[in-house]
Structure 1
Amino acid sequence: MERESATQSIPAQRDVVVRSSRFLLLVVFFAGIGTLGIEMVASRLLAPYFGTSQPIWAAVIGLTLVYLAIGYRLGGSLADRRPDERTLYQVIVWAGLLTGFIPLLSAPILRFAQQALAQFLVGGFLGALFGVLVLFSLPVILMAMVSPFAVRLQLKRVEAGVAVAGSVAGALSALSTVGSIVGTFLAALYLIPAIGTTRTIYLIAVFLIITGLLGLRDWRYLLPLLIVAGLFYYTTATRDSIKSADCLGCVLVAEEESAYNYLQVATRETPRGMTVNLIMNEGQAIQSIRNTRFEETGDPLDLLTGGGPWDYFAVAPYFVPDRDPSAVASLAMLGSATGTVPAQFLATYGPRTRIDAVEIDPRIIALGREYFGMRDSAVATDYPNYRVHAQDARYWLTTNQGAYDVIGLDAYRQPYVPFHLTTVEFFELVRSRLTPDGVAVVNAGKGVGGDDRLGQALASTMREVFPQVFIIDTAGFANQIVVGVNRPVGDGVANFQANYARMQNPTLRAVMDWSLRLGSAPIREFRIETARYAPFTDDRAPVEQLIDTLIFDAALGKQ
């Protein structure tokens, strides 16, 4: 009978668990919001210095999990020694205070990590580890202490004690997880795009301190709130920009954080006139460029970048024999950024050329219209067949019909490549959207010392799909242009030379001349028997591993 009575009392005790200390339950929920909110913010702080690639996310997520494990262990131990609610609220106040120092310290710490590691050429992964270790360890550990501490406090209140320990731990863990979900979506989808990374961090810090204050009811703890307010005023009043322009000799014109990237617009004076440059995230490469002299002269030659990869998309069709410029009438540019390649195409092939430009980041499109003279059909009538789409490149290609003479791909974020744009399945989709004489054109960066492993891997993959693949080494910017033709063309290099010999268009002739004379290696066909890599597939595309190997080999002095 006693056992039956005790069993019947357990549901009643569980009801007590739910009803007791509702504020403590809110605290667990709020700590979950703060923990994942900080994780989302961490990736945004790292982006201007180390990018947003998969290895960087691995550093953020991996170390966050380490901090959570440490915090859970320390929180449980502290709760056993001092099962006092005031101690828990003091921990939360300290977490908020330390969070408030992140914006002030982030720029010098991350800049130091970036510059120090750049000397050893080991890439962003270790730098990101260092940055996350220094900036986020203590706040996340303190917030992780909340959940096990709250379990101990709840069990202290409940008469049944161990009999409901599983229910208490499960309920509080679920509550903390729900808070983490809210923190993830709130920070990533609303706060960061609406108010920016810095203000989001300060908002989380204030939120945590106020939560602790409400629990402590001790106004002496207003001091941390005042300190964070002072840090907010100092940081926002003295910081004009997140960081200086990421290109040599450039002047920063604009910067912003979009839902996808940290973006800079910078100008630079060159012997050929002033250029406007788009730089993303860690600044490993210029993503778009425009010479403002073109607005004065209207000469397509003034849109060329002196041998940069953008220049070569327009000459890729000439591996096909007897190709005439009048027959090139359409382009799908996947990863168009602010429109460098479409602008060159329109100036070279005429304003009625049909162009679909795909760029996943709407803010990049907006910057293109504001700073790069991008005049697509949505904002002007100059080019009626020039349309811009804010979508993922592969999704857009899958869901839209139409055939193109050229499909260009430059959606790669240096130094990493989205894997789903490197696979056999993707290139099969690309080929299905080409005209009979169409070509697919891919921009592949080279590593230190001309390391071309990325280009070789992409060429191996493309050769699985296209009957022939050709490679052009650019005259500038150390890139390779990999071209797949939709039908066999015989000796494509000889075709290119013959097309060059009779080419009358001065812009095309200039770039074809660079292709034949100025690359680090001769223009050539990729032979399947020389392939060094298995083709990438949707199931297995170790492109990040390949690039990491390239980076570390450069650091170790290997070729």
Structure 2
Amino acid sequence: MGPWTAALLVFGSSAAVLVVEIVALRLLAPYLGLTLETSTLVIGIALTAIAAGSWLGGRIADQVDPSRLIGPALGLSGVVVALTPVVLRSTAEWAPGLLLLIASLTILLPGALLAAVTPIVTKLRLTSLAETGTVVGRLSGVGTFGAIVGTILTGFVLISRLPVSAILIGLGTLLVAGSAVIELRTRGWRGTAALTLVVVGGGLATTVAPGACDTETRYHCARVVADADRDSGRTLVLDGVRHSYVDVDDPTYLEFEYVRAIAAVVDTAFPAGRPLAAHHVGGGGLTFPRYLAATRPGTRSLVSEIDSGVVHLDHSRLGLSTQSGIDVRVEDGRLGLRRLDDAGHDLVVGDAFGGVSVPWHLTTVEAMADVRRVLDDDGLYVANLIDHGGLAFARAEVATLGATFEHVAVLGEPADIGLDPTATSKGGNLVVVASDRPLDLRATQEALDARGTGWKIATGADLTSWIGDARQLTDDYAPVDQLLQPYRPQSTR
């Protein structure tokens, strides 16, 4: 085997392992959530595959003619990769209890086969002990470079332009094609045709597999679902979670309870009809910016939404083009805050989520200091929180806000915010309000009641008791995913 052929094989197989790893995260997000635990699981399985493949590949290469191993390794891995979308989506819909096992196998098997290519090729290139170090070092470097290219290509190019199913089917096709070339040159392997048919079948099966998205954005599997009971109602679903409800004809209609709570807070905090300068950290379906535009003409809402695909859906499917006074910037919420002038806003709304978890860097004391900086003296910060079980994250986030603002209150179901000790907390959405001016709690409660939420307000001693010994979140310590419960029911936002 020539040096360029060896380098190409090692480079390509190493790159393919990282493509599979990154795309697997996107494929699993609608079913397991896009959380630190999911990422850790996928990375751990991929590293296990690399370790196992390298060890077994080297061991087998010492016992069998290495030239007979490369083709099958590429071909079989290509078949598994191409079938991964239909297998995972079908398992998630029809046998969810097996999802983790099947997901592990679909990463482990091709990863191990592809990782085995490097020691096999190294064995073929070692013709003299005098050049062992040179050969091993060169191929190791080429493999690492291939992994880097695979990572960058997937993260910056492929996912932004192609559906994840197309990426995996395309990669599987390339691997089978590479297998065919090698096998036809060495022994005319007839099995190549059969593998090709399997890849084609996997591609066709993906078109009818459950769990498909309307749009696969850079960050989400996105769908827009029409409301059967309300002709103009639309629900934006991201990774299986109902993120936003929009009435394209009536922006004052608020379906989700937490949005009605936010509206109750804002409507009592500022005179009716007064235009506001508002900044929204997280956009989704832009339900609340639309509400402000309709109820407070002249309001300027600047929205930081990280996902350009969601913004495209806002325009194409959710009627954003008919709204005025809403400026959406595709940017990270924390970076968006840093770009704002001091004391230039009446209102900041926090409603950014990945799955059902707030991105950790938007939860810290330092992030809240930036929120306080952009608000004027009478400004208001209101945020949507989602938590379950012991509500450890929500308590920590409220404690964090208490270190930044003079007045803090939490709105939610009485059992969730410690106002009904006889009931069991179920968790879900909470709304936290913070400001340096006193909050009109009586008027806010009346507005909550008028909107039919059934929510109550915790503040003062009740809130202090509810927070307990929760630790403040900082840029140096913010284990948001760990504070949230491992099992997260499908919440509405």
Same fold at TM > 0.5: yes
Q: Which residue of 2 aligns with 1:258?
A: 217
Q: Which residue of 2 aligns with 1:434?
A: 375
Q: Which residue of 1 aligns with 2:227?
A: 268
Cα distance between partner residues in 2 of 1:237 and 1:315: 44
Per-residue CA deviation, residues 195-245 of structure 1 (Å, 9 max, x unaligned), is 311121121112112222222222524324432443145225544x634xx
Q: Partner of 1:78: helix, strand, or coil?
A: helix
Distance of aligned partners of 1:54 and 1:138 in 2 relative to their CA distance in 1, 3 Å threshold: same
Distance of aligned partners of 1:477 and 1:539 in 2 relative to their CA distance in 1, 3 Å threshold: closer
- 2:452 is aligned with 1:541: no
Cα distance between partner residues in 2 of 1:536 and 1:235: 46
Per-residue CA deviation, residues 427-482 of structure 1 (Å, 9 max, x unaligned), is 0000111121111111012426xx53332221111001000101111699942110
Q: Which residue of 2 aligns with 1:504?
A: none
- Deviation of 1:188 (Å): 2.8
Q: Is the 8 A contact 2:340 2:374 kept in 1?
A: no
1:393 to 318, 333, 337: 333
Q: Partner of 1:401: helix, strand, or coil?
A: coil
Q: Partner of 1:81: helix, strand, or coil?
A: coil
2:69 to 63, 66, 87: 87
Cα distance between partner residues in 2 of 1:548 and 1:89: 45
Amino acid at match of 1:288: S
1:96 to 60, 78, 89: 78
Q: Which residue of 2 aligns with 1:290?
A: 246
The structure with the larger Rg is 1
- Deviation of 1:269 (Å): 2.3
Alignment of 1:485-500 (within 5 A): 485-487=435-437, 489=438, 492-494=440-442, 496=444
- Deviation of 1:73 (Å): 0.9
Q: Is the 8 A contact 2:85 2:206 kept in 1?
A: no
Cα distance between partner residues in 1 of 2:308 and 2:131: 51
Q: Is the 8 A contact 1:333 1:356 kept in 2?
A: yes
Q: Which residue of 1 aligns with 2:258?
A: 309
Q: Is the 8 A contact 2:66 2:123 kept in 1?
A: no
- Deviation of 1:316 (Å): 2.3
1:335 to 282, 300, 304: 282
Per-residue CA deviation, residues 61-86 of structure 1 (Å, 9 max, x unaligned), is 00100111110110010111124312
Q: Is the 8 A contact 1:113 1:130 kept in 2?
A: no
Q: Is the 8 A contact 2:26 2:219 kept in 1?
A: no
- 2:304 is aligned with 1:358: yes
Distance of aligned partners of 1:359 and 1:182 in 2 relative to their CA distance in 1, 3 Å threshold: same
- Deviation of 1:99 (Å): 2.2
- Deviation of 1:326 (Å): 4.5
Q: Is the 8 A contact 2:409 2:457 kept in 1?
A: no
Cα distance between partner residues in 2 of 1:372 and 1:545: 34
Per-residue CA deviation, residues 121-177 of structure 1 (Å, 9 max, x unaligned), is xxxxxx5x434313222111111111111222211x23xx1x332222111111111
Q: Which residue of 1 aligns with 2:237?
A: 279
Q: Partner of 1:483: helix, strand, or coil?
A: strand
Q: Is the 8 A contact 1:308 1:474 kept in 2?
A: no
Cα distance between partner residues in 1 of 2:267 and 2:208: 54
Distance of aligned partners of 1:229 and 1:479 in 2 relative to their CA distance in 1, 3 Å threshold: closer
Q: Partner of 2:320: helix, strand, or coil?
A: coil
Q: Which residue of 1 aligns with 2:45?
A: 63
- 2:372 is aligned with 1:413: no
Cα distance between partner residues in 1 of 2:339 and 2:15: 36
Q: Is the 8 A contact 2:88 2:103 kept in 1?
A: no
Cα distance between partner residues in 2 of 1:98 and 1:495: 60
Q: Which residue of 2 aligns with 1:242?
A: 211
The structure that is helix-richer by fraction is 1
Cα distance between partner residues in 2 of 1:176 and 1:309: 50
2:110 to 128, 139, 143: 139
Distance of aligned partners of 1:360 and 1:30 in 2 relative to their CA distance in 1, 3 Å threshold: same
- Deviation of 1:189 (Å): 2.5
Amino acid at match of 1:234: L
2:365 to 417, 424, 428: 424
- 2:14 is aligned with 1:42: no
Per-residue CA deviation, residues 374-410 of structure 1 (Å, 9 max, x unaligned), is 13xxxx6x52x32111111110110222621110001
- Deviation of 1:25 (Å): 1.9
Q: Partner of 1:269: helix, strand, or coil?
A: coil
Distance of aligned partners of 1:63 and 1:331 in 2 relative to their CA distance in 1, 3 Å threshold: same
* Equivalences, count: 472
Q: Which residue of 1 aligns with 2:163?
A: 196
Q: Percent identity?
A: 26
Per-residue CA deviation, residues 486-516 of structure 1 (Å, 9 max, x unaligned), is 33x1x7424646xx5xxxxxxxx5x46348x
Length-normalised TM-score, structure 2 = 0.88
Amino acid at match of 1:269: A
Q: Partner of 2:347: helix, strand, or coil?
A: strand
Q: Is the 8 A contact 1:441 1:482 kept in 2?
A: yes
Distance of aligned partners of 1:465 and 1:268 in 2 relative to their CA distance in 1, 3 Å threshold: same
Q: Which residue of 1 aligns with 2:319?
A: 373
Q: Which residue of 2 aligns with 1:453?
A: 392
